[in-house]
Amino acid sequence: MHDLISLAQVLVPVFLGLLTWNLNSKKTKHDSLAEDNDRLVEENRRLTKLNAEKDKEIRELLKDRSKNETRY
């Protein structure tokens, strides 16, 4: 019986340490949301820049088109 108690006294702290380490290493919901938010903000910046470039191209094409129409 004494050996069983000694074994439990050794294994319980090891088990609790492993459990604590495992729980602390997992991402929290807040961490996941923050990462998703950062990713979405970066994607929004990229798309906004792309949209501005496309708008500029469209304006230039319309300007060229109107110049060509006035010639004829």
Please give the pLDDT value at position 29.
75
Three-class SS of residue 72? coil
Please give the pLDDT value at position 2.
78
Across the 72 residues of the chain, what is the mean pLDDT of every consecutive 10-residue run?
Answer: 84 92 79 91 98 97 88 66
Please give the pLDDT value at position 72.
62
Distance from C-alpha of 50 to C-alpha of 44, rounded to nearest angstrom: 10
Cα distance between the two ends of the chain? 106
Please give the pLDDT value at position 60.
95
